[in-house]
């Protein structure tokens, strides 16, 4: 892949993007009839181990309830399985290689000072735009209670609650070793805590409470309210009652001998951040400790689910369901020991696939599932479209209206994901209805091809097999236009 300077890159415009400045954003027509609100619900690091996604172990009655009200996208993919770039992509409707935002510490306004974010768009239409909790990147849990890496122009107001998960970090159990008694160092950790506590003593319970307060305060005018939950991001902290839903005896993990074999045919660059201390990312973490973390992760999903239920109840109580679009999403997927891996930042299905549910007025086929590959950045144009406004031509995403009207409708836009380990270690992945194909450094550092109709766990890499040469060639050509991204010399 040819290297280009960051300055040259930032002058370029990627595939599907037209104009990036606010000046090119034409005035949108007002929606007919009663205004349509938006409730934008985000989870952090939540994979698809959810009841409505077919998981029979994890208890999520309220997310399942939302899925019955709208359309569940079974194959929704983030554009980069890393919090900061993924969230910036969602909020701009632009790919990481359009904005140049590929690292956690990248700054959207420095890279694209005139970008019009989703919240800004709705402000221009006369909406009240507010955030509670995490929508853009935060160092979790270090930045809880602050604005983190938030984007101020996106919001009229923003709120940063902090609960005992932040204020009592010294009680969190850390692995390896199971020690407590210190603070810090939890942003990437194998750690958990299940205190005897009320939901509202925790940050996410406070997020739900404040979001409900804002809904009540602004219910008579158009609103775009974003409720950003910090769970189930590590450390995995939730009230004990949610931990009790998952007896440790029922938590299983893949056999490590089997897990190791799954990586035999994978290019080293694909897992270069994971192999030094494989398995479970940290040296010395035991199989039993990993099981306890998985249990706590599931408890955190159920904790978030309960807060989602509170938000849905608030809309119903105030008779707002009939004029509110509701979106539930997570910034990416998450490994929980599969292939011996943990966390995100990988181009495997487990890492880039995320939950996404859309419900609200005008959404047909309530309770249906869409199996077409879609992208998280499609949420921006979808919400603009369904609230009665003109979709800006500058976006990389596409309105999901055709699939919300008919989940089995034809859809020719593939889902593209990317991993940026550094200027000399990059991978791009394309997901079609049948295939996942990935190239590392343009193929020079390896390729991956998985047949998802026969190998949903991506165990067998078919890329080097002569039988699949034509498929590799076709998918590589289809992927090529998306493979331009900054090659700066800054640290990764």
Q: What is the C-alpha radius of gyration for the chain, rounded to an integer number of angstroms?
A: 21
* DSSP 3-state of 315: helix
Cα-Cα-Cα-Cα torsion 228, 233, 238, 244, nearest 10 degrees, comes to 130
Q: How many Å is the maximal CA-CA distance in the chain?
A: 63
Strands (E) across 33-100 are located at: 37-43, 70-73, 76-77
Q: What is the distance between the alpha carbons of residues 284 and 287, in angstroms, rounded to a whole number?
A: 10
Q: What is the distance between the alpha carbons of residues 99 and 14, in angstroms, rounded to a whole number?
A: 9
Q: What are phi and psi of 73, to 5 degrees?
A: -90, 110
How would you classify the pairing of strands 37-43 and 223-228? parallel
How would you classify the pairing of strands 342-343 and 128-133? unpaired
Q: Which residues are catalytic?
A: 83, 137
Q: Given CA atoms 277, 452, 47, 42 in this order, what sign does their dihedral have? A: positive
* Cα–Cα nearest to 369, from 91, 48, 58: 48
Q: Given CA atoms 98, 102, 107, 111 in this order, what sign does their dihedral have? A: negative
């Amino acid at each position: 892949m040819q290297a280009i300077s960051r300055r040259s890159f930032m002058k370029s415009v990627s595939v599907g993007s037209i104009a990036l400045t606010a000046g090119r954003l034409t005035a949108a027509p007002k929606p007919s009839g009663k205004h349509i609100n938006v409730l934008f619900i985000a989870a952090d690091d939540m994979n698809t181990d959810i009841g409505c996604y077919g998981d029979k172990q994890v208890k999520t009655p309220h997310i399942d309830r939302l899925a019955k009200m709208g359309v569940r996208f079974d194959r929704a993919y983030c554009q980069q399985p890393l919090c900061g770039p993924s969230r910036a992509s969602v909020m701009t409707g632009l790919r990481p290689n359009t904005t140049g935002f590929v690292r956690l510490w990248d700054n959207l306004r420095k890279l694209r000072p005139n970008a019009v974010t989703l919240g800004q768009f709705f402000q221009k239409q006369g909406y009240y735009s507010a955030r509670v909790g995490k929508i853009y990147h935060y160092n979790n849990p270090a930045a809880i209670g602050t604005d983190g890496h938030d984007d101020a122009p996106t919001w009229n107001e923003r709120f940063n609650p902090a609960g005992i998960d932040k204020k009592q970090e010294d009680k969190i159990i850390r692995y390896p070793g199971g020690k407590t008694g210190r603070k810090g160092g939890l942003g990437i950790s194998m750690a958990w805590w299940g205190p005897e506590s009320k939901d509202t003593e925790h940050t996410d319970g406070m997020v739900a409470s404040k979001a409900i307060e804002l809904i009540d305060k602004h219910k008579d005018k158009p609103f775009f309210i974003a409720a950003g939950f910090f769970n189930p991001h590590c450390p995995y902290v939730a009230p004990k009652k949610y931990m009790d839903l998952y007896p440790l005896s029922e938590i299983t993990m893949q056999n490590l001998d089997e897990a190791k074999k799954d990586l035999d045919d994978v290019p080293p660059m694909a897992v270069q951040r994971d192999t030094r201390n494989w398995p479970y990312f940290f040296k010395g973490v035991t199989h039993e400790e990993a099981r306890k973390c998985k249990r706590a992760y599931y408890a955190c999903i159920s904790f978030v689910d309960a807060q989602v239920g509170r938000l849905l109840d608030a809309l119903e109580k105030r008779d707002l369901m009939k004029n509110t679009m509701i979106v539930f999403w997570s910034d990416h997927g998450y490994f929980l020991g599969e292939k011996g891996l943990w966390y995100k930042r990988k181009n495997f299905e487990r890492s880039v696939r995320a939950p996404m549910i859309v419900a609200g007025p005008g959404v047909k086929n309530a309770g249906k599932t869409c199996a077409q590959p879609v992208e998280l950045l499609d949420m921006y144009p979808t919400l603009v479209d369904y609230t009665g406004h003109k979709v800006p031509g500058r976006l990389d995403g596409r309105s999901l209206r055709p699939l919300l009207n008919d989940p089995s409708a034809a859809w020719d836009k593939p889902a593209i994901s990317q991993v940026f380990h550094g200027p000399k270690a990059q991978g791009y992945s394309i997901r079609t209805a049948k295939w996942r194909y990935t190239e590392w450094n343009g193929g020079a550092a390896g390729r991956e091809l998985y047949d998802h109709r026969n190998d949903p766990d991506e165990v067998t890499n078919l890329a080097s097999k002569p039988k699949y040469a034509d498929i590799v060639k076709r998918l590589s050509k289809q992927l090529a236009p998306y493979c331009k991204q900054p090659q700066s010399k800054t640290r990764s």
